[in-house]
């Protein structure tokens, strides 16, 4: 199937690693131009170089910006628009991943929750707000927000709040921007195999005296596949949602966690 993404202009926040980088690879494979946005210029350069090695003809743009800074976000989007004349796709993936065990209520601070919310919810809002005028002006566009399975589970107050909020943001943006031809969706990954995962597994194994194989089994135990889903597998779904082929999907949440074991959704 031709996803009709050849020449599309895509901005991926959190694009220097993890799911964001995997999505960038997937979009490039479909012929899209990708602008990687993240805080660390060195990681951005390394990510762009990796993509170009794999695909020498790829058009890759980098923009160092912190999504908690509205002026920086607007400046990065302006640079992309100046280079390419517009934006067709935004993938919001810039967020601090949940690691370790969530703190109990007595140890959870306002600052911890506020920082998570500022990065993942307000950061996504800032980016969407910056690209929306360009998309609505041209009458088309796709925004995909990377949330998380914590939106459907308890266990971390902060993670649940921020991920539910991303889903709520998505639905509101979809209703407002839909008449102008802009689709907005949210995906909920669970535990995902990225470059951070080996370190996380090793640290948990050391803390619990379990083998790394046992830790991996625990991490994957909540999904139906009983294995950790890869970043590339998440990216495959996201790339489709970025495409005009997904025009009929908007405002909805899509699970990409290998199944949410034990839950019934209808």
- Could you read off the pLDDT of 68-77 as tens digits, one per residue? 999 999 999 9
Supply the pTM of this predicted model: 0.95
* pLDDT above 70: residue 150: yes
Contact (Cβ atoms closer than 8 angstroms) between residue 215 and residue 204: yes
Structure tokens of 163?
């991920």
pLDDT of amino acid 222: 87
Average pLDDT over residues 217-229: 91
Average pLDDT over residues 187-212: 91
Average pLDDT over residues 176-189: 98
Angle between helices 41-54 and 18-29 (to 10 degrees): 30
Question: For residues 221 and 80, which has the higher predicted lDDT (pLDDT)?
Answer: 80
How far apart are the C-alpha atoms of 238 and 111, rounded to whole Å? 31
Average pLDDT over residues 80-87: 97
pLDDT of amino acid 129: 98
Domains of the chain: 9-191+232-255 (3.40.50.720), 193-227 (no CATH)
How far apart are the C-alpha atoms of 36 and 217, rounded to whole Å? 33
pLDDT of amino acid 189: 95
Least confident among 5-19, 199-213, 233-247: 199-213
High-pLDDT (> 70) share of the chain, %: 99
Region at 214 (left for phi over 0; alpha for psi -120 to 50; beta for the rest) = alpha
* pLDDT above 70: residue 50: yes
pLDDT band at 252 (very low <50, low <70, confident <90, very high): very high
| Three-state secondary-structure class, residue 241 | helix
Distance from the first to the final alpha carbon of the chain? 29
Structure tokens of 128?
């969407």
pLDDT of amino acid 264: 80
Residue range 96-124, pLDDT digits in tens: 876 667 888 899 999 989 999 999 999 99
pLDDT band at 155 (very low <50, low <70, confident <90, very high): confident
Contact (Cβ atoms closer than 8 angstroms) between residue 51 and residue 58: yes
pLDDT of amino acid 99: 60
pLDDT of amino acid 200: 86
How far apart are the C-alpha atoms of 259 and 134, rounded to whole Å? 36
User: DSSP H helical segments within the chain, as ranges?
Assistant: 18-29, 41-54, 70-84, 110-117, 123-138, 157-177, 197-208, 212-220, 231-242
């Amino acid at each position: 199937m031709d996803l009709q993404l050849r020449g599309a202009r895509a901005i991926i926040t959190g694009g220097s690693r993890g799911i964001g980088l995997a999505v960038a690879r997937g979009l490039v494979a479909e012929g899209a131009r990708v602008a990687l946005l993240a805080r660390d210029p060195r990681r951005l350069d390394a990510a762009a170089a990796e993509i170009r090695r794999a695909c020498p003809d790829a058009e890759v743009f980098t923009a160092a910006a912190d999504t908690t800074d509205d002026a920086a976000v607007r400046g990065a989007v302006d640079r992309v628009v100046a280079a390419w004349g517009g934006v067709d796709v935004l993938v919001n993936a810039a967020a601090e991943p949940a690691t370790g065990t969530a703190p109990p209520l007595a140890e959870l601070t306002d600052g911890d929750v506020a920082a998570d919310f500022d990065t993942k919810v307000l950061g996504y809002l800032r980016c969407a707000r910056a690209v929306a005028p360009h998309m609505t002006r041209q009458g088309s566009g796709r925004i995909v927000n990377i949330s998380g399975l914590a939106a459907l589970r308890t266990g971390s107050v902060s993670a649940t709040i921020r991920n539910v909020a991303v889903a709520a943001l998505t639905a509101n943006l979809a209703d407002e921007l839909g008449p102008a031809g802009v689709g907005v969706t949210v995906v909920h990954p669970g535990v995902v195999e990225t470059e951070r995962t080996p370190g996380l597994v090793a640290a948990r194994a050391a803390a619990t005296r379990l083998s790394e194989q046992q830790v991996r089994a625990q991490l994957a135990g909540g999904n139906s596949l009983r294995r950790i889903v890869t970043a590339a597998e998440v990216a495959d779904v996201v790339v489709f949602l970025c495409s005009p082929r997904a025009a009929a999907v908007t405002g909805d949440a899509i699970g990409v966690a290998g199944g949410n074991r034990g839950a019934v959704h209808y």
